[in-house]
Amino acid sequence: MLGYSAHAATITIDNLDVRATGVFGQGTNVSAVTINGSAPGGTVVADPINVQMTYSNLDLDGDSSANDSVTFTLTVSKFGTDGGSLRAFNQGFDTGFGNLNDVSVTVSSVSGTTTDSGATIVFDGFTAAEAGFGGNGDLDSTVEINGTVVSVNSPNTGAFQFLTQGVSFAPTSTVTFDNSVRNGIGTIVARNYDLQFSTVDPIPEPSSVGLLGLASGLLFFRRRK
């Protein structure tokens, strides 16, 4: 039987920008993106919203060869009744225009092994997240990300502006967005995420180690005879 050792290699995917129209800022690394089973297109109003993707060109076995891939699902859902309906649109995720409340983001269905060593790829957690604020006019809004308040305060520029603010944290399984306040105009959305993945190498279970040791001992005994 096989078990798994401690994590052997670690990488972080920075600024994974997820919206109703796809995944941005990652070039050709991201492929096979679906949102609730369909190709990204227009606005999606649903709860939960599942964004599946494959992320390639990773070096997760530390051999300086970026040939590893992992498939996973980013799930955005509501955990309470504040705000309106959960939606994905061309700026990100919200619960109504200028509203971002009771929203959680998790990762599941992680699948992948490293190409050269065959190690299993696992999700360690989110290490950062950002909210986006956009509009034509004065932007003066706040929202809590995992309990930490992030905010923007930007006077009217005479044109559309979109600003992001985020927070970093130790790896955690869930990111929450809550208690949004809009004093000016515009949108408040869940926008970018940093995701940490690592690998675990198969090792023999203790029972298997014991059997191997017994076999070695018998072989040594027979040779001595």
- The tokens describing 179, both together, are 């208690």
Which helix (H) or strand (E) is 215 found in, with range? helix 206-224
Share of the chain above pLDDT 90, in %: 81
Place of tokens 């191997």: 212
Give the helix, strand, coil percentages of the chain, each rounded to 5. 10, 60, 30
CA distance 196 to 100: 25
Contact 129, 194 (CB under 8 A): yes
pLDDT at 108: 98
The mean pLDDT value of the chain amounts to 89
Which helix (H) or strand (E) is 169 found in, with range? strand 161-172
pLDDT at 9: 82
What is the mean predicted confidence (pLDDT) over 5-34? 90
What is the mean predicted confidence (pLDDT) over 133-150? 97
Q: Closest Cα to residue 56, out of 36, 27, 17?
A: 27
> 176-218: per-residue pLDDT in tens?
999 999 998 999 999 999 999 999 876 655 554 454 454 444 4
pTM above 0.75, yes or no: yes
Q: How confident is the model at residue 219 (pLDDT cuts 50, 70, 90)?
A: very low
pLDDT at 99: 98
Share of the chain above pLDDT 70, in %: 86
Q: Closest Cα to residue 65, out of 14, 111, 30, 116?
A: 116
What is the mean predicted confidence (pLDDT) over 114-133? 96
> 71-121: per-residue pLDDT in tens?
999 999 999 999 999 999 999 999 999 999 999 999 999 999 999 989 999
Query: DSSP label at 210?
Result: H
